[in-house]
């Protein structure tokens, strides 16, 4: 039986730079950093939360053929791939803190039917939601919503 998501992938054009983004700007901790032949297995995670981990995978590695690698690199750097949604208990405060650290925001915090949400990019172009869920956990169907 499946119990939880353990590891998810974040595609990177520069593992070292992306590792610094997640640790220095977002405050994540390194969970593993292991050389494996011609690749490097690097995972990060939210301190105090064992799962999921985020595997920082190179777009020019991971057993990809050259054509797939180039296509993936193009999509990542173009900024069309969403990589996940992070939950916070203070969207406004985290938005200010991360912006002060140089994180690029695509959308400042806005009220949504499910809570308050901001959108940001990592150093590769992958985008993420930073969401503070509504306290009651319900959708506000009267709240206008557009993408």
Asked if residue 42 has pLDDT above 70, the reply is yes
What does pTM read for this prediction?
Answer: 0.88
What mean pLDDT value characterizes the chain? 92
Q: How far is 15 from 44, CA to CA, in rounded Å?
A: 12
Average pLDDT over residues 122-135: 94
Where exactly does CATH 3.10.180.10 map onto the chain?
A: 1-78
Where exactly does CATH 3.30.720.110 map onto the chain?
A: 80-147
Instruction: Reduce the DSSP state of residue 16 to 3 states and report it.
Output: helix
pLDDT at 116: 97
CATH class of the domain whose range is 1-78? alpha beta
Enter the CATH code of domain 80-147.
3.30.720.110
Is 2 or 138 the better-scoring residue by pLDDT? 2
Instruction: Give the CA diameter of the chain.
Output: 54
Average pLDDT over residues 50-60: 93
pLDDT tens figures, 6-31: 999 999 999 999 999 999 999 999 99
Residues across the chain: 147
Q: How far is 42 from 44, CA to CA, in rounded Å?
A: 7
pLDDT tens figures, 61-97: 768 899 999 999 999 999 999 889 999 999 999 999 9
């Amino acid at each position: 039986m499946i119990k939880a998501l353990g590891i998810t992938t974040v595609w990177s054009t520069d593992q070292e730079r992306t590792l610094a983004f997640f640790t220095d700007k977002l405050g994540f901790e390194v969970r593993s950093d292991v050389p494996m032949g011609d690749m490097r297995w690097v995972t990060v995670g939210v301190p105090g939360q064992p799962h999921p981990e985020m595997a920082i995978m190179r777009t020019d590695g991971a057993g990809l053929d050259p054509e797939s690698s180039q296509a993936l690199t193009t999509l990542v750097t173009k900024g069309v791939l969403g990589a996940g949604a992070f939950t916070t208990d203070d969207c406004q405060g985290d938005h200010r803190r991360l912006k002060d650290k140089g994180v690029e925001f695509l959308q400042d915090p806005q009220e949504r039917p499910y809570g308050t949400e901001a959108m940001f990019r990592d150093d590769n172009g992958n985008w993420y939601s930073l969401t503070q869920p509504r306290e009651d956990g319900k959708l506000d169907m009267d709240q206008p919503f557009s993408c």
